[in-house]
Amino acid sequence: MTIASLKSRLPAFAKDVSLNLSSIGEDDSLTAQQKYGLMVACGHATRNPDVAQAMEAEAAPHLAPVALDAARAAATIMAMNNIYYRFLHLASNEEYKSMPARLRMNVIGKPGVDKVDFELWSLAVSAINGCGMCIDSHEKVLREHGVPASAVQTAVRFAAVIQSAAVALEAAAIQVQHAAE
């Protein structure tokens, strides 16, 4: 399954999602590795197997195996970090912020791809997962590396579009289930 096949499965009420999927597929404002890595990382962050599979299929011809694994790693490590750091941000008890996280995060230091690309993917996944602390942290690193605000915004736009595809597929499945009842 690719973006085209994913679009063909979207219901009529998700026409905007389909159009937005086309726009990210045609976007050339990022490097190929950044763009396709975003697709993979965000696809997995949606936790929707159909979306993840479509993003992987779309990206695989454009990414080296190490980059494909790094994008998967960004989704995976942020799944952990976003829970933990969102908790720290939301918890009223300040004591937790002084405790060591005791979470292994080696992949962030050595992701196997350019640090900027990994940070961009991590930022997008953090947006999907709703972790403000992680968003701020990754955005700061990106800006320190000279990444323009437009690239940051593009990464978050990719995240929003890919997440909306997952929601549309789930809503369509429920619609079909209700029609069958």
Domains in the chain: ranges and CATH: 3-98+106-180 (1.20.1290.10)
Question: Which tokens go with 37?
Answer: 């890595």
Given the residues 40, 134, 156, 162, the one annotated as active site: 134
| Dihedral sign for Cα atoms in the order 53, 58, 61, 66 | negative
pTM value?
0.93
Distances (CA, A) of 144 to 2, 85, 88, 119, 139: 34, 21, 24, 11, 9
CA separation for the pair 152, 143 (Å, rounded)? 9
Active site residue 42: no
- Print pLDDT tens along the chain (181 aa): 789 999 999 999 999 999 999 999 899 999 999 999 999 999 999 999 999 999 999 999 999 999 999 999 999 999 999 999 999 999 999 999 999 999 899 998 899 999 999 999 999 999 999 999 999 999 999 999 999 999 999 999 999 999 999 999 999 888 777 677 7
Given the residues 52, 131, 162, 168, the one annotated as active site: 131
